[in-house]
């Protein structure tokens, strides 16, 4: 596709989007209006994916995580998070952790700082190839 044709298509797409914005402005409010009305609280669930670069070896890996956050009554709520990281070149070597706890938020609106107390557990397993029989860490 040549440059002039590509520029013409971009201009046409811009015109179509502009007309859509003028005819249907309600669809463009996005986060400007609340999605639901809250009576008891709110729940947020999310996830993460990333890469791992450990200090002890040149190999890399990947990680993923899941979290949940719930406002229950007033400014009090619960939190939960789970995280798993694995080294690609060494099957069996991974880090696994989870934590859960209570929290109290302050303020209202979009910015709500909070304090919390979490309890959790984490483990790191070395790949079986790293250890020789009878070897301790």
Count of beta carbons in the 10 Å neighbourhood of residue 38: 9
pLDDT tens for each residue of 101-119: 999 988 777 777 888 999 9
Q: Encoding tokens for residue 72? A: 């229950």
Whether the per-residue pLDDT at 135 is higher than 70: the answer is no
pLDDT tens for each residue of 12-71: 877 777 777 777 666 555 555 455 555 567 788 889 888 877 776 667 788 899 999 888
The Cα–Cα gap between 65 and 33 comes to 29
Q: Angle at CA 44, nearest 5°, toward 38 and 50?
A: 165
pLDDT at 60: 76
pLDDT at 66: 92
The Cα–Cα gap between 106 and 113 comes to 6
Task: Give me the residue spans of the domains in the chain.
Answer: 1-31, 34-130
Beta-sheet pairing, 114-125 with 61-73: unpaired
């Amino acid at each position: 596709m040549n440059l002039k044709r590509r520029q013409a298509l971009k201009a046409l797409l811009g015109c179509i989007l502009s007309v859509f914005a003028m005819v249907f402005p309600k669809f463009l409010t996005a986060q400007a209006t609340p999605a639901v009305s809250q009576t008891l609280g709110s729940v947020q669930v999310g996830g993460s994916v990333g890469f791992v670069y450990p200090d002890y070896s040149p190999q890399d890996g990947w990680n993923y995580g899941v979290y949940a956050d719930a406002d229950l009554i007033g400014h009090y709520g619960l939190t939960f998070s789970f995280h798993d990281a694995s080294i690609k070149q060494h099957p069996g070597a991974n880090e696994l952790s989870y934590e859960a706890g209570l929290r109290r938020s302050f303020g209202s609106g979009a910015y709500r700082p909070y304090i919390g107390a979490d309890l959790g557990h984490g483990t790191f397993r070395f790949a079986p190839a790293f250890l020789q029989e009878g070897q301790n860490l």
